Amino acid sequence: MLTRWLDKLSLGGARKRRLASLMLEAIALHQRGELDAAERVYRTILGEEPRNAAALAKQGLIQLQRGDTQGGLDLIASSLRIDGTQIEALSNQGKGLLSLGKYREALASYDAALSLDPGLADTYLARAGVLGRLGRFEEALSSYDRALGREPKFRERFDFLYRRGEILHCLNRHAAALADFERAADLSPERADVQNNCGSLLKLLGRYSEALARFDRAIALAPDFAAAHFNRGVALQDLRRYEEAVLSYDQAILAKSDYADAYANKGCVLRELGAYDAALDSHRQALAINPQHVEARFNSALVLLLLGDFSAGWTLYESRWQTTALRASCRGFQQPTWDGQISLSGKTILLHAEQGFGDTVQFCRYLVKRRAINAPVGAR
């Protein structure tokens, strides 16, 4: 940007040479972090040449660095209206828009910068972050890979590996995500969050012993790390080491008293241990924290049914269609669901299986029995 501006100067003009000298002085001050001094020089330039795009863009950058995001963006926008080919200004505009949560606008700025110079590795990196926030994970991964292709040293940068690992995790590419997180953990072994992420991925890959070791490492680094205690509990629960899982969930709750998921999972483990009253109490605590916690409501239903409280149990059992496990299996029919209150006389009812074959076979006997009771004499 500066080079193009200097190229436009007339070497024979004393004023132009002086402005060029001032610009170099301002940039040197700016790079040393002397923002006030640099701004004074940029203002001197603008006093003599108000449409100096480079000085406007640099002044805007100073405002961004001071935390005046909107003020900085206004100056950069003014600069780009004068000269829309300023790559650095476009990238800085993207950063400012990103900090305001204006992701689509930020993406447009980064794309404009890359259209002028496709070799900008850092801009591809920033662009990938924006795409991730927009939920466009495949595009985000492609942008990360383009950044890596232009700057192979990114493979040794913690932030690159961590952020790319998150995107791979979102894409359910767990083995690849684990490779990035493990490398990030090697670069920053003191980061408990990275150890926890490694553990979560190892658990998803069925490598439970390694997962537990990572969770233990995360907890050793951050004893009050609630998520690590929780994830450790999940791994132990999957291994059916229920007593140990309860202890881990208790530690998660101790670290975070409003941890609804920990209460809900603890309730499931207590049900497996046959401690039904304690399980129901744990689910109730989860619902007290988050009344919309569908898993806690559904698992409360299972406990109530085990306790023989069919009225309350079957009522809560209707929440099953909102759970993660069954949401996708819910069938949508135009006809109303029969709730047992309306007579079926003269009507047709459609029965369909909704879960496993075991439940289907088990409950078919009640249909057969009802038909036998209601059938006319001599009917089969």
Residues 319 and 264 in one domain: yes
Residue 352: pLDDT band (50, 70, 90) is confident
- Is 168 inside a domain boundary? no
pLDDT in tens, 158-169: 999 999 999 999
Residues 293 and 246 in one domain: no
**Nearest-angstrom CA–CA distance, 30 and 127:** 25
Give the count of domains, the chain: 2
Which residue range forms the structural domain that includes residue 313? Answer: 258-334
Q: Can you give the pLDDT at residue 12?
A: 45
- Is 140 inside a domain boundary? no
Residues 239 and 262 in one domain: no
- Is 79 inside a domain boundary? no
Q: Which long-range contacts (CB under 8 A, 24 or more apart) does 197-206 make?
A: 197/165, 197/169, 199/228, 199/231, 199/232, 199/235, 200/231, 201/169, 201/174, 201/177, 202/178, 203/231, 203/234, 203/235, 203/238, 204/174, 205/174, 205/175, 205/178
Residues 275 and 244 in one domain: no
- DSSP class of residue 172? T
Q: Can you give the pLDDT at residue 369?
A: 55
Residue 3: pLDDT band (50, 70, 90) is low
**Nearest-angstrom CA–CA distance, 47 and 178:** 55
pLDDT in tens, 45-81: 999 899 999 999 999 999 999 999 999 999 999 999 9
Q: Can you give the pLDDT at residue 164?
A: 97
* Mean of all residue pLDDT scores within the chain: 90
Q: Are 198 and 161 in contact (CB under 8 A)?
A: no
Q: Can you give the pLDDT at residue 343?
A: 82
pLDDT in tens, 292-317: 999 999 999 999 999 999 989 888 98
Average pLDDT over residues 208-214: 97
Is the pLDDT score of 179 beyond 80? yes
Q: Can you give the pLDDT at residue 362?
A: 81
Residues 268 and 329 in one domain: yes
Is the pLDDT score of 2 beyond 70? no
| DSSP conformation letters of 257-269 | TT-HHHHHHHHHH
Average pLDDT over residues 21-28: 91
pLDDT in tens, 360-369: 888 777 775 5
**Nearest-angstrom CA–CA distance, 147 and 127:** 9
- Is 241 inside a domain boundary? yes
Instruction: Extract the tokens encoding 84.
Output: 């829309």
Q: Return the minimum-mean-pLDDT range out of 143-157, 227-241, 319-333.
A: 319-333
Q: Is 340 left (phi over 0), alpha (psi -120 to 50) or beta?
A: left
Q: Can you give the pLDDT at residue 334?
A: 81
Task: Examine the fold and report which residue of 256, 277, 311 is the final residue of a domain before the chain moves on.
Answer: 256
- What percentage of the chain carries pLDDT values higher than 90? 75
- Is 156 inside a domain boundary? no
The number of beta carbons lying within 10 Å of the beta carbon of residue 235 is 25
- Is 116 inside a domain boundary? no
Residue 332: pLDDT band (50, 70, 90) is confident
Task: Examine the fold and report which residue of 197, 224, 256 is the final residue of a domain before the chain moves on.
Answer: 256
- Is 147 inside a domain boundary? no
Residues 289 and 230 in one domain: no
**Nearest-angstrom CA–CA distance, 252 and 268:** 15
Q: Which residue has the tokens 């490492």?
A: 217
**Nearest-angstrom CA–CA distance, 237 and 248:** 10
Residues 200 and 252 in one domain: yes
Query: What element of type H or E holds 45?
Result: helix 35-48
CATH number of the domain residue 193 falls in? 1.25.40.10
Instruction: Extract the tokens encoding 61.
Output: 């950058």
SS3 of 286-333: the string is HHHHCCCCHHHHHHHHHHHHHCCCHHHHHHHHHHHHHCCCCHHHCCCC
pLDDT in tens, 262-287: 999 999 999 999 999 999 999 999 99
